[in-house]
Each structure stands twice: as C-alpha cells, then as structure tokens.
Amino acid sequence: MENEALKKIFINFHAKIVENVNPESVIEVLLSKNIISEDDYNDLRKAKHSRDRCRGLLSLLCRSSHPETFIQLRLALRDEHPVVVDQIDEQLASPTAQLQQLRLDQSIDGECPLQVYTCNSGNMQR
C-alpha cells in the first residue's frame, strides 16, 4: 500500500479516528517502529485525554517524512481497531481512490497518462 494514498485516507477519517481509537497501543507500536521519537512519545503521553493524544498523534504523523508512516499506522490499528482498518481498506479499493492514486503517481513522475480534453463550441480538443 502506498503511504501517500493512506495519508489522504487517514486525513479524511480524522474525526472518526479521534472518536473511535484509543491511541495508547498505537503510540507504543509506532515508537517501537521508529516512526515517532522518544520525545514525541513523551509529549503525546502528557495529553490528559485520549482524544487529545489521538489528535496530537495524527498531527505529528501528517508532518512526518518517514516513508512508511501511514503504512505502519494502518498495521498498528489492525488488531485493536479492525473496523476502522476495513473502512480504510475499502477506500483504497474504491475506483475513485485508485484514480486519485494514479494521478498522484503520474504527477510525481512528471507525466500523466490521462489526456485532458476540453470542449470548445462542441469540438473536443486536447
């Protein structure tokens, strides 16, 4: 799974994750995988409420440059929050998500296989 595709999905699921995920075990797993640092871990643990820790974690992960941040987040959620992971996986499998990922991949390469057409006075033009 592509990290950037997962990032976009996690951003869209932000509110659902904050409401439904207890971040404690997720934070532990991400620390063990070196996705977050000891300092990040300690800062997240200072938040009084689980929702605040979850918001802080998602914010931290969105700023991360680690190439597997959201892949590891998905894996960390899999055991304790399978319903959330199933919903994320459904988004990955949707045709819209696949098209968005194709566009992202191609824009990174500098080429786009999708030809853009405009309609001027009933004539299709490239």
57-84, pLDDT tens digit by residue?
Answer: 999 999 999 999 999 999 999 989 999 9
CATH code, domain with 74: 1.10.533.10
- Is residue 30 a part of any domain in this protein? yes
On the question of pLDDT at 2 being above 90, the answer is no
- Is residue 115 a part of any domain in this protein? no
Domain that holds residue 78: 3-93
- Is residue 118 a part of any domain in this protein? no
Q: Is the entire prediction scored with pTM above 0.85?
A: no
User: Which residues, 6 or more positions from 92, have their beta carbon under 8 angstroms from its beta carbon?
Assistant: 1, 5, 6, 9, 98
- Is residue 77 a part of any domain in this protein? yes
CB neighbours of residue 57 within 10 Å: 24
On the question of pLDDT at 38 being above 50, the answer is yes
Alpha-carbon gap, residue 124 to 117, rounded angstroms: 6
